[in-house]
Amino acid sequence: MSDKQKLIGYTKSKGLEYVLLHIKKYILLMKTYISPNLNCIQKFGITIDFLWSVARYGVGINDYFQYNFYRRRAIDRKNFIVARNRMQIIYTCNGTKNQPDFDDKCKFNRVFEEYLGREWLDMDQCSLEEFKNFVKMNTRFMEKIKKGSGGNGINLISTENREIGKLYKELKKKHVIVEGLIKQSPEMSKFNPESVNTLRIITLVTTEGVKVMDAVFRCGNGEKYTDNFHHFGLAAIIDIQTGIVVTPAIDKLNQKYYIHPRTKEQIVGFKIPSWTKIINTVKKAALVKPNVRFIGWDVAVQENGRICIIEGNCTADPDITQMPDQVGKWPKYKKELYGDKKKI
């Protein structure tokens, strides 16, 4: 991955390295999202406005640039979910950012087994015989680290010309899980056959039941098997009532695509197959762990019509739900969480 992609994504550095990397990130994002040809006065003005936005609205570096804060009025800025109110949502709904049943892919698969729609094994627990039976049915499969996000730590493995016993030992040492490939529906596959093209569905458990807050269509834009937004993927808003894509897709650099740049498939107006079934599935899954009220589900539609949940994210990043239409989603979350009782 290029330095540009790393900096636009998220890092886990600490101390002085953290500070220096974020200064570098700020400079890079200013050049990327605004212009590399700003004069000193323009740069100074934007930097002052950024620091004010951090203090007033709680924005992060990514928030400021990807939501175009530098050219928004105050009335628009306060409507966006940014670093500060994102944490409000997470802590109000889920109590903590750390949720073992969602953070660990192995634990997640055990809890949500009925929704997976694919075979899987925990390499720490499985025997050689179990692994041999798995690869008989899955000559190509995914290797995933147990704790990872953003499409990191995922590899496509082929057993062609591989000694199975040796492969078994290699995977054992990595302490990973393995999963059979998802055979997606032709309607979803046509946008980018090389990747599994998925949906991000945000659910919120309320006193009135499970509500679907946002829905996004995601598709790959390259040869990677995943369609992750932070790895060159595209994202477009879905109308929750109809299941129809209603905005152009955008990439992480805010470039718009009305048709897919590789396959030339029309994005706007595409109707997601089995939409009612998808909504019913995530609403049902949301009640498996009702105390974790805010979840972003990654969902695929299989070729047999079955709905397959890939994973659930209890700290789901709002970038994918706000960047495509550049409309802040905080007011509707605020209403669900606080009603008219709290002004923030």
Note every long-range contact of 230-236, with CB atoms under 8 Å and residues 24 or more positions apart, other chains counting: 230/5, 230/8, 230/9, 230/10, 230/150, 230/151, 231/1, 231/5, 231/150, 231/151, 232/5, 233/195, 234/260, 234/267, 235/200, 235/320, 235/323, 235/324, 236/267, 236/268, 236/324
- Could you tell me how many helices (H) and strands (E) the chain has, helices first? 14, 11
The token pair that represents 255 in the structure block = 């470039």
- Residue 18, pLDDT > 90, answer no
Q: Could you read off the pLDDT of 196-230 as tens digits, one per residue?
A: 999 999 999 999 999 999 999 999 987 555 556 66
Residues 233-259 have a mean pLDDT of 95
Q: pTM (2 decimals)?
A: 0.90
Q: What is the mean pLDDT of the chain?
A: 91
Backbone torsions φ then ψ of 270, nearest 5 degrees: -65, 130
107 contacts 100 by C-beta, under 8 angstroms: yes
pLDDT bracket for residue 339 (50, 70, 90): confident
Residues 278-310 pLDDT 10s: 999 999 999 999 999 999 999 999 999 999 999
Extents of the domains making up the chain: 3-78, 119-180, 185-338
Distance CA(143)–CA(103), nearest Å, equals 16
CATH superfamily, domain at 185-338: ATP-grasp fold, B domain (3.30.470.20)
Residues 6+ apart with CB under 8 A from 207: none
Looking at domain 119-180, its CATH architecture is 2-Layer Sandwich (3.30)
Instruction: Give one DSSP letter per residue of 24-50, joined into a string.
Output: HHHHHHIIIII-TT--HHHHHHHHHHH
* β pairing state of 177-180 and 120-122: antiparallel
